Structure 1
Amino acid sequence: MNPSQPKRRRPLSYLAILGLSVLLGLGVGLGAALIDEFGGANTQAFRAALLSVGVLIGVVLCIRWWQGADEAVREAHKWAWYWGGSAGIAVVVVLFVLSSWDLITLNIPPYGDGPDGLLLSGSALTLGLMLAGYIIAWAAWWLRHR
């Protein structure tokens, strides 16, 4: 290797990223349980710090995976997020409009008490339908291009 050339990092494999993500999830879950048990007066601050660090590590893992992905994988994910995510949002908009016109009754159980629980429920519905659309679009892309 020529000393003037930059050292190229070897990308992490999909299984390595998946394993690290599982370990990250387990670590955040264990940390949250320990914070709930021993956090005391600073429980909320510890939770916020744990979540921030967990999200930051997750973003770094995603970036490392994306850098190692080939062009076909990148294109499949971009296409699936655009079309599948957009379709998921469109379904939520249709449900919202039909519900606001009293054509349907939307009974989504809240994730908690008061307006915060309803906001979390709406967010979960939106993200869930976007993810479902993404998975369908991703599978369709790969079936079309095989």
Structure 2
Amino acid sequence: MLDKPIRKRRRLGYIGMLALCALLGLVVGFAAALIDTFGGPATDALQTGLLTLCMGIVVWICVLWWRAADEAVREAHKWAWYWGGSAGIVVVILALGLVGWDVIELAPTVLSGEPTELIMTGVGLTLGAQLIGYLIAWAAWWLRHR
């Protein structure tokens, strides 16, 4: 078995990656505003293309970051996404049950009741619950292993 040389420390680091993602967000936001203003009949197609391109860049950034992360960081994120994301899904399933039994009302009254608005609300609640669960699990993992 051939030993590979130890990889150099990543150049950007954590703050650099955050800055890169923030810059990407600003560029995409500016481009989306330009498309809204000047897109005309092709606005939907241009915005779909912009979103697809942006998601491809985000995945590429994540792959670069993951390759540079050490084993402890990788394990913390895997553990947090599994347990925290799963806990977030459990919260959403419980909320869905409570909504189905008319115990609570989750659809904001400002929505028109259109299916797309209701779906986006559900997606937002689900991702939000998973993210909160992830952050709690990630912090717990690091507190236990420090």
When normalised by structure 2's length, the TM-score is: 0.88
| Conserved? CA contact 1:89–1:129, under 8 Å | yes
Match of 2:104 in 1: 105
- Measured after TM superposition, the shift of residue 113 of structure 1 is 5.3
Measure the CA separation in 1 of the matches of 2:27 and 2:111: 24
Measure the CA separation in 2 of the matches of 1:31 and 1:20: 16
- Measured after TM superposition, the shift of residue 100 of structure 1 is 1.1
Match of 1:118 in 2: 118
1:75 aligns with 2:87: no
Q: How does 1:51-90 map to 2 (within 5 A)?
A: 51-90=51-90
CA RMSD of aligned residues (A): 1.9
Q: Percent identity?
A: 56
Match of 1:47 in 2: 47
1:21 aligns with 2:24: no
Distance 1:45 1:113, change over 3 A: farther
State the 4+ residue runs in structure 1 displaced beyond 4 angstroms. 110-113
- 1:2-34 residue CA offsets vs partner (Å, 9 max, x unmatched): xxx99x776342222111111110000000000
SS in 2 for 1:32: helix
Measure the CA separation in 2 of the matches of 1:131 and 1:123: 12
Query: Gapped runs of 5+ residues in structure 1?
Result: none
Distance 1:106 1:113, change over 3 A: closer
| Conserved? CA contact 2:84–2:136, under 8 Å | yes
SS in 2 for 1:118: helix
Matched residues, number: 140
| Conserved? CA contact 1:111–1:121, under 8 Å | no
